[in-house]
Amino acid sequence: MEGNLPTALVSLSRALELAEPEGYVRLFVDEGPATAALLEAAAKRGITPNHARQFLNAFGTAEELDLR
């Protein structure tokens, strides 16, 4: 991950809030590993962990993380 992580996490949080009720998972998965890494960072910081977990499940990585 390059750039400004805090700013990226704010944007990601808003995107997750908007996408989750509509079921727009594919948009995130299509963006690839960089998005998965950002979702992991968000979940580990407690930023919309339930939404992040749902999206990470689509990547197949949520079970590898401790997202309690």
Kindly report, residue by residue over 19-47, the tens digit of the pLDDT: 878 888 888 888 888 888 898 898 889 88
| Helices 49-59, 5-19: inter-axial angle, 10-degree rounding | 90
Burial class (CB in 10 A: 0-12, 13-18, 19+), 24: middle
Higher pLDDT, 65 or 23: 23
Judged by DSSP in three states, 61 sits in: coil
Q: How many residues does the chain have?
A: 68
Residue 63 predicted with pLDDT over 60: no
Q: Specify the pLDDT at position 16.
A: 86
